[in-house]
Amino acid sequence: MKKKFIVGSNAFFKCYDDFNPNDIDVLYLNDDNDKINIQIRLNDKNKCIFEWKKMTPEEYIKYHKDKNTVGIFLGKFLVPEFVKEIGFTIEHLKQLEFLLDKLDEKHNYEKIIYNAYIENNDFYLTDEQRLNAYNEYKNKIKK
């Protein structure tokens, strides 16, 4: 069975009237097939599609450490619906801190979200925290 999650900037900023994303990122979590690739990325016009095999939080962390992945992979672990589905906790999130330094400038808003979650000790943003992240997003997108 596949479960669909909206990830990326749409997961956080669609509540703002002036939010105008270049694309939409969709993540499918697949728990029916042990043989699928860990990640598939397809560009479908203005849609980026990711498919991940359902794993334990520890397996996701190990994968990202072992593969020395790029920072943008942090994003899915900031989406509350996704982390709830896989049983990810703030303690798990802290183990991915190494990805923060690998974020490109366009995704620096994820640092603000990550730090807010750590500060809140839960996967939620206050209105002020969300607005701070959104302002960072807008500033980097204009460049």
Check the CA dihedral 78-80-84-89 and report its sign. Answer: positive
Q: Is the separation of the CB atoms in 74 and 114 below 8 Å?
A: yes
Packing angle of the helix pair 109-120, 127-141 (nearest 10 deg): 170
**Structural domain span for residue 109:** 2-141
pLDDT band for 41, please (50, 70, 90 cuts).
low
- Say how far apart CA 141 and CA 143 lie, in whole Å: 5
Number of domains in the chain: 1
In 2-98, DSSP assigns E strands to 2-7, 24-30, 40-44, 47-53
Query: How many Cβ atoms sit within 10 Å of the Cβ of residue 88?
Result: 22
Mean pLDDT of all residues in 66-84:
94
pLDDT value, residue 7? 96
User: What is the C-alpha radius of gyration for the chain, rounded to an integer number of angstroms?
Assistant: 15
pLDDT of residue 33: 63
Residue 12: helix, strand or coil by DSSP? Answer: helix
Write the CB contacts of 26 (distance below 8 Å, at least 6 apart in sequence). Answer: 4, 5, 6, 7, 47, 48, 49, 50
Per-residue pLDDT band at 48 (split at 50, 70, 90): confident
Six-digit token string for 44: 């479908």
pTM of the model: 0.92
Mean pLDDT, the chain, rounded, equals 91
**pLDDT, position 49:** 83
